[in-house]
A and B are shown apart, each in its own frame.
Chain A
Amino acid sequence: DQQVKQNSPSLSVQEGRISILNCDYTNSMFDYFLWYKKYPAEGPTFLISISSIKDKNEDGRFTVFLNKSAKHLSLHIVPSQPGDSAVYFCALRGYNFNKFYFGSGTKLNVKP
């Protein structure tokens, strides 16, 4: 049973507009929430994270929002750029620090 779900396998956005990627989870035993970006034939790279005690974290064009009551995590990219086209994974870290649970990924295509 998947604890972490990314229900949109793909998303297409025009350059300059906002991209919103979503992630839902089923239990509360996570202390950190992360987003990774993955290009073809490469390993995932860390993008941004948020602690369970916060509800928003910004880093340049990237903002992560956490709604613990809804068990929902989202990543906003504003403005979107063609170089942002990649697969985005959310990852949740369990309280034992060692285990990370990944969503299935959302493929973002930013059209010029």
Chain B
Amino acid sequence: NAGVTQTPKFQVLKTGQSMTLQCAQDMNHNSMYWYRQDPGMGLRLIYYSASEGTTDKGEVPNGYNVSRLNKREFSLRLESAAPSQTSVYFCASSELASGISEQFFGPGTRLTVL
């Protein structure tokens, strides 16, 4: 049981390059999320997917696209990377429920855009 896995762990891009961050979970959770963490800013929601086939914008969606490929996988794409997208990216999953549903996080991807 691996929980939430993310690839790659580290990436360096040049301005204008594109890349896709991959995320997979094996807990059969309905909901998946992408966050970015910047110094002094906490975690900010980029996009989320409440269930397979649906995606919605979070607080900071500009410059990103997502795909919920199936129940397990949720990818984040940067079409044209900018230095402002230098950050640590976390994927998370949770069970959508009216009761408490804590999120389980992956180990993160550290992205640097030069």
Partners in one complex: yes
Query: Which residue on A lies nearest to B91, using beta carbons?
Result: A43
Across the interface, which residues of B come within 8 angstroms of A101, CB to CB?
45
Q: Is the CB of B43 within 8 A of A89?
A: yes
**Minimal Cβ-Cβ distance residue in A for B103:** A100
**Which chain A residues border B2 with CB–CB below 8 Å?**
none
A-B contact count (CB 8 A): 59
Number of interface residues of A (CB under 8 A): 26
- Do A98 and B102 contact each other (CB < 8 Å), given the known contacts A43-B108, A104-B42? no
B58 interface residue (CB < 8 Å to A): yes
Query: Within the complex, which residue of A34, A42, A43, A105 is in contact with B102, where a contact is CB–CB below 8 Å?
Result: A34
Tell me, in angstroms, the Cα distance from A3 to B56 when the chains sit together: 20
* Top 3 closest pairs, chain A to chain B, by CB: A43-B105, A46-B102, A102-B42
6 A-B pairs whose Cβ atoms sit less than 8 Å apart in the complex? A44-B43, A45-B105, A46-B103, A97-B101, A100-B33, A104-B40
Contact surface of A with B, Cβ cutoff 8 Å: 4, 6, 9, 32, 34, 36, 41-46, 49, 51, 89, 91, 93, 97-105
Apart from A34-B100, A36-B105, A46-B102, 4 more pairs, CB < 8 Å: A34-B102, A46-B103, A97-B97, A100-B45
